[in-house]
Amino acid sequence: MISEGRNINVTLIFSLDRYQKVMDAYISGLERWAGSGATDLSSVASVASFFISRVDTEVDHRLEAIGQDTALALRGKAAVAQGKLAYQAFLRTFSGPRWQALADRGAVPQRPLWASTSTKNPDYPDTLYVDSLIGPHTVNTLPDATIDAFADHGTVARAVDVDVIDAQSVWAGLAEVGVDMDDVAATLEREGVASFQKSFDELLDALRQKATELA
């Protein structure tokens, strides 16, 4: 759809591998659109919605099942670590000659959007997934309670590209204790698609019922 000049929100991203494929598809779409005769690429905008808190919920469950001290010490760290590593992938992808050729024609980067950024675990700071992922070109969708919390005591500072080495260490540590992040992502993606499908079906049912009532 990018190749047709449409604005797209690519959602339910839970892994670095999936995110890279999304960014590559965006660039390929822009190249195809440019090849079809488009001269100004600036009218196309896109976000890649990377889900955050659900990752910690799933990973923490697995870490607690492992039960070792080294595993338990990683609780509450996977989601932010993955977000920071995703941002590094964003910086690498939207730079260099391939991207610059599109940027010269007005193309804008596909922005990473941090979704599901309310903390599910009450033991974690309620602005954890906001404070930790602030940076250029990023978007964060916050529920009302998290907006209020951030307005009250959030930290406004560039953070998404800070402590990247620590994020890499967390990522390596998860593998060392036996957490399969590919399986985590696959599980969350299946659950997310099923949830979205259920909501979509319920919406269609409501529309059909309303149409019947108005007939």
Provide the domain count of the chain: 1
192: CATH: 3.20.20.70
- Residue percentage of the chain with pLDDT more than 70: 97
**What pLDDT was estimated at residue 200?**
65
In a domain, 61, yes or no: yes
Q: 193 or 67, which is more confident?
A: 67
Mean pLDDT over all residues of the chain?
Answer: 94
In a domain, 82, yes or no: yes
For 192, list phi and psi in degrees, rounded to 5: -65, -45
| 5-46 residue pLDDT tens | 999 999 999 999 999 999 999 999 999 999 998 888 999 999
In a domain, 126, yes or no: yes
In a domain, 214, yes or no: no
Average pLDDT score over residue span 161-187: 97
- Residue percentage of the chain with pLDDT more than 90: 86
pLDDT > 80? residue 193: no
Domain of 42? 2-209
In a domain, 215, yes or no: no
